Chain A
Amino acid sequence: MHKRLVQHLAKVDLGSPGGLDALLGIVDQAYLEHDLERKRSERSSALMAEELEELCEKLHASTATIRLQNLRFQAAQDNMPQALSLFDKDGNLVVCNRRFREMYQLSEGYDPNGKKLLDILTHCVVHGPVLNLENRSLTLQHVAMNVSTGSVLEQVWPDGRIISIARSMIQDGGYLDTTSDVTENRKAIAQIAHMAHHDSLTGLPNRCLYRERLTDAVQHARRGEQCAVLYLDLDRFKAVNDTLGHPIGDALLIEVSARLKANVRDIDTLSRLGGDEFAIILRQLKSRDETHGFAKRVIKNLCMPYVIDGHDVSIGASVGIAIIDAWLNDPDEVMRNADRALYKAKADGRGVFRIAD
């Protein structure tokens, strides 16, 4: 007999009036409770299955979204001009983009993921061709970059490229390296700097650079160096421009620059101040008289005939000389002196030099 029926029978006295009814009542209740339990169990199982199915669908949708996001993220990474490498808190590579592989020219079969930066760079050094054993110090500098404060390192690689490496810390304790080829950028900056200080027609230092060099010369003169400024103006240049046109005039200025260059030393500064005005800062002169010979040579050279685009051209030059005395501390005063001397040279018939008093 089932133990529950035994329990039920123990509760009633079947011999007594109503005993059977009492037993039936208890058994009926037992059936009812059993049915209820079964219904609850079935209902909860069905609902749980429904819920789990809903969650499963959501999970699939989330997975698909994440996969798509990953593809987009990977595409964005791979099309970055910079090489990107992300390392975890233990220093193992977790993500790198295509540019990283290209920049370090990692061989096809080499998987850098999970490896430390030193191992990856050592692989590069051993297998080349970007980095080699002779330049191992470059890789060591890179590995030693500070993580906690973030830092930027600039290196010149063996092939001449200028490489900038920026390191920043990630929240989980890892770090992100961004490696960029900044060669073109640096060239452009150098070009802009050159343009800012040089005359675009002749390539000579312009007034801005001349001014800096003059200031430098004034400071050196105060410490005893003998320096002077030759302020030079071409005679009859305007007539050339007016009769033969500006292109010929420009070509003449280039030729004049070349002749002047041939006369100055590396320590001197030849500059075009504008139009047909030139200035030469002479440094480390042995005596003031040295400027006389120099001015004569310049005037003589510039007076020699020119053939520009088939045209015979003849011009002259007047020169004003200002000696930079030790007691002078104002470049403007030097220029004013030179200007006065030039004015005097022109007034005295051109083709001559005059020295400021």
Chain B
Amino acid sequence: MWAKQIDATADGFSSKQENLLGKTPDLIFLFEVSDAHDQGASVAQLSDIFPDVPIIGCSTGTIIEGDTLSDRGATAMAIGFERTHFRVATQAIGGSWDSQAIGLALGLQLQASDLSAVLVLADGLHMNGSALVSGLAEAVGSKVAISGGLAGDGARFEYTFVHGNRLSQSKLVAAIGFYGPAIRIAHGYASGWEVFGPNRAITRSEDNVLYELDGKPALDLYERYLGEEAAGLPASALFYPLQIWQPDQPDHKVVRTILSVDHDARSMTFAGDVPQAWKARLMRGRLDNLIESATDAAQLAMSALKKVGASLNPSLCVTVSCVGRRLLLGQRAEEEVKGVADVLGEGVAHIGFYSYGEIAPRSDSVLCNLHNQTLTLTLMAEAD
């Protein structure tokens, strides 16, 4: 397996791609800063250069490339496999299909006895990520690791889109399945956020819409904590993610991040379910902790890869980090990306994006879930 960054200029991807050494990729990952007016331009340019090569990717507010990040442009990674084949499946969001059903449909398209792993990218504004993952996992089985993320739009929360199977549009989910015994995939996951304040009860919610905490509008609580920064809702709510857990399973906590607010209904819509009667607690991030946790995630992923192939070095790392981290870290977001790149070392191609929801199994398990406010890594390599 090999992976090489595809050069881009201010005008986009040029046809001159000398660093690929004449190789033709099997697959291209493309992440680009969302721009509704220019949507599809990058795909068109890449398709011109690499006709018939499948492109999968999504929008974001910030792209990750090596040890740097950028709030403009696009980044693309050319990937070639020697002993692994893959299949891309897409599913439009709409009609009467809910997120779980879409996940199930995608999973059924990809399902095969030699399916090893799935990477999924979904529209970030029209998808209940936890339901999507649940549907996918139901179809492909619990032994297939699922990772990926929800397309982002920075602090704007206005428009997200996904590329896959020659489509480039909003309200789309694309998933890629990797097949065969040679592919080796490992994951890392870290949060770095800390809980604070009292435990609260989710007293009114519906799927991923939260209405009340402790019998009072949840939005009131966020506005109180945000003060002047409440004007920046929904993005500013990312400074205070919500940790939630089932009361009788206090060890299985998940973090939820906000997608939108409804000032009239005093409700908040999250990227995943916020079940009624669960417990909740606000979180806040100290910048140093967040940056350190990114390094921890990379180290976890590297250790996990060693477990599935002691002599293997990763060929590619796909990093998906939460927009909430980007907003809180500001300038220092580069430090978390650099921390990851330092752990990966020279020779490992690194691409990624800031998302509205991260999908990855925990390092010690293939049971995957939707995470929020985390940084997740998917390391890929091929065994001999």
> Which residues of A come within 8 Å of B, CB atoms?
4, 7, 26, 29-30, 33, 36-37, 40-41, 43-45, 47-48, 51-52, 55
Contact = CB atoms under 8 A, between A and B. Distances in A.
Contacts of B196: 44-45, 48
A234 B316 CA distance: 126
B330 interface: yes
Interface in B178-198: 196-198
A43 B335 CA distance: 25
**What 9 A-B pairs are tightest by C-beta distance, nearest first?**
A33-B330, A48-B197, A48-B196, A55-B198, A44-B284, A30-B331, A47-B225, A43-B227, A51-B197
A51 B214 CA distance: 12
B225 A43 contact: yes
A26 B225 contact: no
Nearest to A3: B335
12 contacts: A4-B332, A26-B331, A29-B331, A36-B330, A40-B284, A41-B284, A41-B286, A43-B225, A44-B240, A44-B284, A45-B196, A47-B225
B239 interface: yes
B139 interface: no
Given A40-B284, A44-B225, A51 B331 contact: no
Tell me what chain B mostly uses at the interface: helix, strand, loop, or mixed. Answer: helix
Nearest to A30: B331
Contact of A33 (B198, B227, B239, B332): B332
A30 B332 CA distance: 8
Contacts of A44: 196-197, 225, 240, 282, 284
Nearest to A33: B330
A52 B197 CA distance: 7
A29 B330 contact: yes
Given A36-B330, A43-B225, 9 more contacts: A33-B330, A37-B328, A40-B229, A44-B225, A45-B196, A47-B225, A51-B198, A52-B197, A52-B198
Contacts of A40: 229, 239, 284
A30 B331 CA distance: 7
A335 B229 CA distance: 105
Contact of B287 (A26, A37, A48): A37
B224 interface: yes
Interface string B258-285: 0000000000000000000000001010
Contacts of B328: 37
A47 B196 CA distance: 11
Interface residues of B, number: 19
Contacts of B335: 7
A33 B331 contact: yes
A43 to B, nearest CB: 6
Contacts of A43: 225, 227
B79 to A, nearest CB: 30
Interface in B152-207: 196-198
B347 to A, nearest CB: 22
B284 to A, nearest CB: 6
Nearest to B68: A11
Contacts of B332: 4, 33
Nearest to B199: A55
A47 B224 contact: yes
B280 to A, nearest CB: 13
A31 B201 CA distance: 37
Nearest to A40: B239
A351 to B, nearest CB: 95
A52 B282 CA distance: 13
A95 B332 CA distance: 61
Contacts of A36: 330
Contacts of B197: 44, 47-48, 51-52
Contacts of A33: 330-332
A51 B196 CA distance: 11
A36 B228 CA distance: 11
Nearest to B334: A7
A37 B332 CA distance: 12
Identify the interface centre among B196, B197, B334: most chain A CB within 10 Å of its CB.
B197
A29 B334 CA distance: 14
A33 B196 CA distance: 21
Interface string B12-33: 0000000000000000000000
A60 to B, nearest CB: 15
Contacts of A45: 196
Identify the interface centre among A7, A44, A52: most chain B CB within 10 Å of its CB.
A44
Contacts of A52: 197-198
Nearest to A37: B287
Contacts of B334: 7
A25 to B, nearest CB: 11
Interface string B273-313: 00000000010101100000000000000000000000000
A47 B224 CA distance: 8
Contacts of B198: 51-52, 55
